[in-house]
A and B are shown apart, each in its own frame.
Chain A
Amino acid sequence: MELKICHMYPDVLNLYGDRGNVMCMTRRLQWRGIEASVTRLPIGSSPSLAGFDLVFIGGGQDFEQQVLLADLHRGKDREIKAAIEDGVPFLTICGGYQMLGSYYETYDGQRCDFIGALDLYTVGAVQRMIGNYSFQCEASAGSSVVVGFENHSGKTWLGSGVEPLGKVLSGFGNNSQDGTEGAHYKNVFGTYSHGPLLPKNPAFCDHLLLTALERKYGKAELAPLDDSAELLAHDEMCRRLTKG
């Protein structure tokens, strides 16, 4: 078995450890004897997503946003939408997550159109939402408790066409008001948990990998791994967050 992973915009959407997710998926496949290849699609690359089994998009700085939007509108937006409708699994984080929505409206009312692949939109807030946080994934996303770090000023609101990825246990999540975190649509998983989300959430990582393998091969199983190091990091943060 083999998974072909696409890392979109690693040149600009790489803020704070996002590549840790790609490393994590690759290692956890290889440890099980499953081949993994990673293709980087930087700005200016051919837009085609054909043949990829899993797509990762990270978060970025404001500085490169214009460059990014121009490139998206040169065909990658259509490719992304087609792949999503086709059931290709996506993991998208922070800026990459917002970008799949309809638009971003800054605090002072300037609107920036995004690609509209998911029924959600984001509005800028004055106060940044920063800190360690945790959420419980919905059953459809594997039910695991995810711990991560969020750092965003945008508040994201979900439309009726998407489900939340999970419920906030501690922290802000999508907008600090409705208790939702992230979005789940078909096989797209969007979240504010930036940086290295997957390494200390092995259950969530495996859910993502299994989704990709099952889509490609019909039926698949993942052999258990020794996750004691990962779970120690996970559980320590859970304990810290509950202590408050």
Chain B
Amino acid sequence: MKLKAIFAIILCKLLRLLSRLLHRGGTAMPGRIALKLCPELLSIVSAGVKTVAITGTNGKTTSARMVEQAFLEQGKSYFANRSGANLISGITTEFVMNSSLTGKCRKEYAVIECDEAAARRVFPQLKPQVVVVTNLFRDQLDRYGEVTHTLENIRVAMEGVPEARLCLNADCSLTASLAGDLPNEVVWFGIEQGAAPSRPKPEISDATHCIRCKAEYEYDYISYGHLGGFRCPRCGYRRHRADYAVTEILRQGADSSDLVMDIRGGKHMVTVNLPAMYNIYNAIGAVAAVTEMGLGADAAIAALADFRCGFGRMERFALGKGGARMMLVKNPAGCNQVIEFLENVKEKFLLVVCLNDRGADGTDISWIWDADFEGLGQLSGYLEQVIVSGDRAADMAVRLKYAGIDPAHIRIERSYEQLVQWIEGQEKPVFIMPTYTAMLELRQVVIAHCGGDDFWK
């Protein structure tokens, strides 16, 4: 153990203490400074810890929460990077805070969410036992570049950890292509044909042409976006049979879903304590992760029924008579899933959309035109009013107007304080769709009114 590392650990702990005393999160900054001092710090503090790492475009945080719930319920000694501190700086801070001054981690397990662009720096040091790739969609173009760049980032990241078991979404042709390029043992999860009615091919798909030979894919079924039973008619690249499979979706409710899962040949009834199709994917991926970490399928299934959704992801607040639900949106694929959820609400409701264009949101808001807000335009019987807010509220108002929502029902409210007071006065349920930085700010105001956790908790 080098002196340099010990000094970096002490500095990191002090900086964290200081930022908490100043009532800041201090999730990333201490680690960033400590890594400057000792670039291999993460490999030192993560040595000997059994780690599951979760990456991919959408569903990282929710999947990690599901996995974490299983560790919690099984009474395991673990920690997790809870607050979206998913770059190397934030992950290092978390490990240091769970380590002794000599860099020995006090926990047996770690549940780590990792940004897909950061994975190539994180994985080789972290040496996770199990890696989950949830999916790959086109995301903030100005930040991540084309989706194939993200895929390449994850491939390079995995080259540094050939011994890790890789859990891949079998239904995502982009994610699944990692299997052919890597020596890692691969475990597949997905939703089987017939579990849900197949969708029509979307107007905009993030993967129309074969990642290997560029011929156009054919599909046996589509579950959403480009996910489903893909196959290439030219080179034969196709969906792999899933080891962890959702075989039936029995019920999709406003708050939860009931499913049948086939877990390595065993049939299980499962309740997921969150609505919407994308959370069914998160659930089956989480089951794969928990089981492959050795906690057993029953532990994973129990966790899905119990866990509390986190941090702006379908998060509920006791605000107004009908309650409020906050649903983070970041890119077209995720946004479409939220819109589809709203189409199935089937009671009168109110909607808030907060659009920011800061670094963490993506500075380019063009993606709102790829999301199918037209679905909301057809809900005039249910959707009574839309309030738009955030730095780019005016652009959001234009998008909704062209989606077919009567401009008389669209109002711009710049102040979050005013906005939350308005929500408090409502009788009907309010659904809030914020982008990332808008979620952070608005959530603080919401919590001040009705309670909840600070963002680093």
Give chain A's interface residues, CB within 8 Å of chain B.
10-12, 14-20, 23-24, 27, 43-44, 61-64, 66-67, 130-132, 149, 151, 194-196, 199-200, 226, 229-230, 232-233, 236
Cβ-defined contact, A199 with B146, below 8 A: no
Cβ-defined contact, A61 with B146, below 8 A: yes
Cβ-defined contact, A19 with B208, below 8 A: no
Report the bound CA distance from A131 to B363 in whole Å. Answer: 7
Cβ-defined contact, A130 with B142, below 8 A: yes
Report the bound CA distance from A194 to B288 in whole Å. Answer: 40
Give chain B's interface residues, CB within 8 Å of chain A.
138, 141-142, 146-148, 203-205, 208-209, 214, 216, 363-370, 392, 394-395, 397-399, 401-402, 407, 410, 412
Cβ-defined contact, A17 with B208, below 8 A: no
Provide the residues of chain A in CB contact with B142, threshold 8 Å.
130, 151
Chain B residue nearest to A22 (CB atoms) is B369
Provide the residues of chain B in CB contact with A23, threshold 8 Å.
369, 402
Q: Which of B141, B205, B394, B397 contacts A15 (CB 8 A)?
A: B141
Chain A nearest CB, measured from B192 CB (Å)? 27
Report the bound CA distance from A199 to B148 in whole Å. Answer: 29
Provide the residues of chain B in CB contact with A27, threshold 8 Å.
402
Known: A11-B208, A14-B204, A229-B397. A20 touches B364 (CB 8 A): no
Known: A10-B203, A149-B366, A229-B407. A64 touches B397 (CB 8 A): no
Cβ-defined contact, A64 with B209, below 8 A: yes
Known: A19-B370, A43-B216, A200-B395. A195 touches B364 (CB 8 A): yes
- Beyond A195-B366, A200-B398, A232-B397, list 20 extra A-B contacts (CB 8 Å): A10-B203, A14-B204, A16-B364, A16-B367, A19-B370, A20-B369, A24-B402, A62-B148, A67-B209, A67-B214, A130-B142, A132-B363, A149-B364, A194-B366, A195-B369, A196-B368, A196-B399, A200-B395, A226-B407, A233-B392
Provide the residues of chain B in CB contact with A236, threshold 8 Å.
394
Provide the residues of chain A in CB contact with B204, threshold 8 Å.
10, 14, 19
Known: A12-B208, A23-B402, A63-B148. A233 touches B366 (CB 8 A): no
Report the bound CA distance from A112 to B322 in whole Å. Answer: 59
Provide the residues of chain A in CB contact with B402, threshold 8 Å.
20, 23-24, 27, 199
Chain A nearest CB, measured from B387 CB (Å)? 14
Report the bound CA distance from A134 to B141 in whole Å. Answer: 20
Cβ-defined contact, A229 with B401, below 8 A: yes
Report the bound CA distance from A24 to B395 in whole Å. Answer: 13
Report the bound CA distance from A131 to B397 in whole Å. Answer: 21
Cβ-defined contact, A17 with B407, below 8 A: no
In the complex, the number of residue pairs spanning A and B with C-beta atoms less than 8 Å apart equals 94
Report the bound CA distance from A173 to B209 in whole Å. Answer: 31
Going nearest first, the 5 A-B pairs with the smallest beta carbon separation are A195-B366, A20-B369, A17-B369, A17-B366, A233-B394
Chain B nearest CB, measured from A28 CB (Å)? 9
Chain B nearest CB, measured from A228 CB (Å)? 8
Report the bound CA distance from A64 to B210 in whole Å. Answer: 10
Chain A residue nearest to B142 (CB atoms) is A130
Q: Which of B363, B370, B395 contacts A14 (CB 8 A)?
A: B370
Report the bound CA distance from A14 to B378 in whole Å. Answer: 24
Provide the residues of chain A in CB contact with B392, threshold 8 Å.
233
Provide the residues of chain B in CB contact with A14, threshold 8 Å.
204, 370
Chain A nearest CB, measured from B368 CB (Å)? 7
Cβ-defined contact, A63 with B146, below 8 A: yes
Provide the residues of chain A in CB contact with B214, threshold 8 Å.
64, 66-67
Chain A nearest CB, measured from B359 CB (Å)? 12
Report the bound CA distance from A15 to B365 in whole Å. Answer: 12
Report the bound CA distance from A18 to B366 in whole Å. Answer: 8
Name 27 A/B residue pairs within 8 A (Cβ), A-sorted: A11-B205, A16-B367, A17-B367, A18-B369, A23-B402, A27-B402, A44-B216, A61-B148, A64-B209, A131-B363, A132-B363, A149-B363, A149-B365, A149-B366, A151-B141, A195-B366, A196-B366, A196-B369, A199-B399, A200-B398, A226-B407, A229-B397, A229-B398, A232-B397, A233-B394, A233-B395, A233-B398
Report the bound CA distance from A232 to B411 in whole Å. Answer: 13
Cβ-defined contact, B209 with A19, below 8 A: no
Provide the residues of chain A in CB contact with B412, threshold 8 Å.
232
Report the bound CA distance from A10 to B370 in whole Å. Answer: 12
Report the bound CA distance from A196 to B365 in whole Å. Answer: 9
Provide the residues of chain B in CB contact with A10, threshold 8 Å.
203-204
Chain A residue nearest to B205 (CB atoms) is A11
Chain A nearest CB, measured from B411 CB (Å)? 11
Report the bound CA distance from A236 to B414 in whole Å. Answer: 13
Known: A17-B366, A63-B148. A229 touches B394 (CB 8 A): yes
Chain B residue nearest to A27 (CB atoms) is B402
Report the bound CA distance from A20 to B369 in whole Å. Answer: 5
Cβ-defined contact, B146 with A16, below 8 A: no
Chain B residue nearest to A66 (CB atoms) is B214
Provide the residues of chain A in CB contact with B394, threshold 8 Å.
229, 232-233, 236
Report the bound CA distance from A66 to B214 in whole Å. Answer: 9
